[in-house]
Amino acid sequence: MRVPWREVRRHPDRFPDWHIAKVSSVRTVIGLDFAIHTGETRRIYLKRSLQRDKVKQLLARFRATKEWREFQLAQEFAEAGVTVPQPVYYAEGTDENGQPSVYYATIGFGSEWHEAKSLFKKTRQFGAEWQSLARFTRRLHEKGVLHGDYRSDHIYLDEGSFAEGDDSAWALMDLDGSRVGKPVTPRERFRALTQLTESLLTSGMKRENVEEFLRVYDPANTQQLDSRRIYKFALDKVKRLRPR
């Protein structure tokens, strides 16, 4: 199947069966549904990235593209026991105008997976799921797995298989800037937890919720993380970015 990228970008309303997930100056991400051999439907997300910058085109001859690094990262995360969108395709080529382009596809999460941001915003409660997320985060960092943008809109929960005390029902997406196999420093832990906190301020998160998270994430306080400092840092950042 040929994807009419230019038409998708200019007239997304003409493609009601496709999920236009992202459109920027150089990237377009669309979701397409495919029937597999079992008769079930799976959604594949296909990303096209244009390489317009001449310097980046030159550097691409000597280093891997961002999308290829994402492809490898997804495999590394899976090998570490972390659920992520499964990579299925990578290619380098040109667009309809001969512009260097990169294509990357993954199998999206099924309908049983729900974005953590939406979950907490809907319930406005930080109970069993919140403690489970703290255990999941601790497991990530203990394994040397660091997500580059640890926000609640990049974290998903399989509510159907979730059980209190279980941290295996979580998944991650958008692995740009992430890594596996290197110890996570206290500074990186602080950054990850401020990212998570900032993303949940509109869901009613309080400083006490951060404190409860830390009790589960680091019960012996070996990292010496301060809930007040984390919460204030996140709150101050939101205030700085808020339009006046």
Topology (CATH) of 113-241: Transferase(Phosphotransferase); domain 1 (1.10.510)
Structure pTM?
0.87
Residue 29: the pLDDT is: 93
User: In this predicted model, what pLDDT tens digit does every residue of 140-161 receive, in sequence order?
Assistant: 999 999 999 999 999 999 987 7
**Spatial CB neighbours of 208, under 8 Å, sequence gap ≥ 6:** 227
**Spatial CB neighbours of 106, under 8 Å, sequence gap ≥ 6:** 44, 45, 74, 85, 86, 87, 88
Task: Work out the number of other CB atoms within 10 angstroms of the CB of residue 68.
Answer: 16
What does the alpha-carbon distance between residue 189 and residue 211 come to, in Å, rounded to a whole number?
Answer: 15
Residue 244: pLDDT band with limits 50, 70, 90: low
Is the per-residue pLDDT at 168 higher than 90? no
Mean pLDDT throughout 69-78?
94
Is the per-residue pLDDT at 109 higher than 80? yes
Mean pLDDT throughout 55-72?
77
Is the per-residue pLDDT at 99 higher than 80? yes
Distances (CA, A) of 121 to 28, 155, 172, 199, 200: 28, 14, 18, 10, 8
Topology (CATH) of 5-107: Phosphorylase Kinase; domain 1 (3.30.200)
Domain locations along the chain: 5-107, 113-241
**Helix axes 227-241 and 207-217, enclosed angle (nearest 10):** 130
| Residue whose token pair is 């550097």 | 59
Mean pLDDT throughout 30-45?
85
